[in-house]
Structure 1
Amino acid sequence: MTDNIIYTDEQGSEAWLAARKGVITGSRFKDCRDRLKNGHPSKKCLDYAKDVAREREGGEPMPVFTNGAMRIGTEQEPLARMIYERKTGNIVDEAGFITTHDRLFGVSVDGLVDDDGIIEIKTMVSSDTLFTAFVDGDISGYIDQCNGAMWLLGRKWVDLILWVHDLAAMKIIRINRDDDVINALESDLVEFERMVSRCQKQLADALKEAA
């Protein structure tokens, strides 16, 4: 995708929240595809569609919950980026929140490398995450976010950085662009966007009746 809009506001600021308002964001792409065994959208998927619809209809931006683990992740990001540069020799340019020109979809990536690369930093704060991703190698929870970033930014690879801050250990997993996988993701995200539009229309109709 091209013709993106870049927002450089500080993460968590009012301007940052405003930039994300009504946008389907990369960190939730996995939720957009969450389905029950019968193929119907899960409650997590439906709830997110309703949140986005409410924002698009003029509601306040949904509060972004921040816990201790997320704060540690944010604090550790600059150090992890520096260590990544030292280990790989890659120079990383920081990036803000990037949306499509129609502001339907957006991603916050942790850095851009040359013309083709992206980095995504995940700090292994919880031991569950440490053993799932770092020890067992199960990175399925991050794949949609990484592929979505390549889709929106037209890039060829993502280095997923698993950073264990308290043990000073880092794994770098290269995820190369697979257009078949990205096309499937795009199809599911477009279908989710239709769900958001349907929810928004239902809300708009209800608001008119209540006026």
Structure 2
Amino acid sequence: MTLTTYTHLEQGSDEWLAARCGLLTASTIGKLITPATLKVADNETSRGLTMTLAAERITGHVDFVYPTADMQRGTDDEPFARDAYAEHFAPVEQVGFMVRDFGAYRIGFSPDGLVGGDGLIEIKSRRPKEHLKTVLKGLPPLENMAQLHAGLLVSGRSFIDYISYSAGLPLWVKRVYPDTRWVNAITTAAETFEINVTNIVNNFTTATHGLPTTERREVFEEIY
């Protein structure tokens, strides 16, 4: 299992997008897992992700997606949350991207920061009501658990501090350690994904053999 770290790759840059092209990542693998049961998901969302990444492997391009308001707030707030964590908890080192080659499949991960020699941070910028929900429950939201554990699996680190940030409210941090149940779920989902995406690419290549190739045009998509 080989780990490749792109130290100076800027998140969101063309080079960063190229490194992620067609690659299953910690931020997307949750779409392949049913959180309540930790079973491999088979629904419109999981099939859509598989088809999207198959298309990226075929074209070699990642289509641009306009950020939503929540996505943009997350980007804008991340430096403030990181600085607050570094001031009150521990120093943070930034790296661009990590890829772990497991042999049968690969998973990518864009850490929000490295903590010492064995830790990570994952920052989520939340609207106040969502921040309150997380703090009062005392646990990271279930929908974020696949991302957290995939980050731990890819990086090989021993803990990840989940940071819930909402400007003007107290910073909330919860430490998460590797969980065998999530590791098994992620491994199974990644193995299934790789089989499915390979079949899609092969079938498409066969179905379009000999057909004329069209010129690529940039397409801008907005997520609602």
**Does structure 1 conserve the Cα–Cα contact (< 8 Å) formed by 2:114 and 2:121?**
yes
Deviations 1:184-203 (A, max 9, x none): 32122221221111111122
**In terms of mean alpha carbon deviation, does 41-50 or 129-138 score higher?**
129-138
Partner residue in 2 for 1:48: 49
Higher helix share: 1
Cα distance, 1:107 vs structure 2: 0.8
Cross-structure match for 1:139:
141
Q: Number of paired residues?
A: 207
Question: For residues 189 and 100 of structure 1, do their structure 2 counterparts lie closer, same or farther at Cα, with a shift above 3 Å needed?
Answer: same
Partner residue, 1:116: 118
- Where does the alignment leave 5 or more consecutive residues of structure 2 unmatched? 213-224
Matched, 1:82 2:83: yes
1:154 is matched by which residue type in structure 2? G
| Unpaired stretches in structure 1, ≥5 consecutive residues | none
Matches of 2:16 and 2:64, distance apart in 1:
12
Counterpart in 2 of 1:4? 4
Amino acid at match of 2:18: A
The offset of 1:74, in angstroms, is 1.1
In the superposition, the TM-score normalised over structure 2's length comes to 0.82
Give the Cα separation in 2 of the matches to 1:180 and 1:29: 15
TM-score by length of 1: 0.87
CA displacement 1:144-171 (0-9 Å, x = unmatched): 0010011111111110000111x23211
Amino acid at match of 1:113: V
The residue aligned with 1:33 is 33
- State the partner residue of 2:62: 61
State the alpha-carbon separation in 1 of the partners of residues 107 and 140 from structure 2. 26
Alpha-carbon deviation of 1:143? 0.5
For 2:7 and 2:65, the matched residues in 1 are separated by: 17
Change (3 A) 1:42 1:118: same
Q: Identity rate of aligned residues, in percent?
A: 27
Distance 2:177 2:54 in 1: 33
Taking only aligned residues, the RMSD between alpha carbons, in angstroms, comes to 2.5
Mapped partners of 1:155, 1:206: distance in 2: 43
Preserved CA contact (<8 Å) 2:8 2:96: yes
Alignment of 1:182-201 (within 5 A): 182-201=183-202
Q: What one-letter code is carried by the residue in structure 2 that aligns with 1:142?
A: N
**Which residue in 1 is equivalent to 2:170?**
169
TM superposition shift of 1:39: 7.0
Number of the residue aligned with 2:221 = none
Q: Which whole-Å CA distance do the structure 1 matches of 2:95 and 2:198 have between them?
A: 29
2:154 is matched with: 152
Partner SS for 1:155:
coil
Q: In structure 2, what residue type is equivalent to 1:203?
A: F
Task: State the 1:59 CA deviation.
Answer: 4.5
Of 92-101 and 108-117, deviating more is: 92-101
After superposition, the C-alpha distances for 1:49-104 in whole angstroms (9 at most, x for unaligned) are 0111111112421323411221121111111111112221x111012121124783
The code of the aligned residue for 1:95 comes to V
Change (3 A) 1:203 1:121: same
Distance 1:143 1:209 in 2: 44
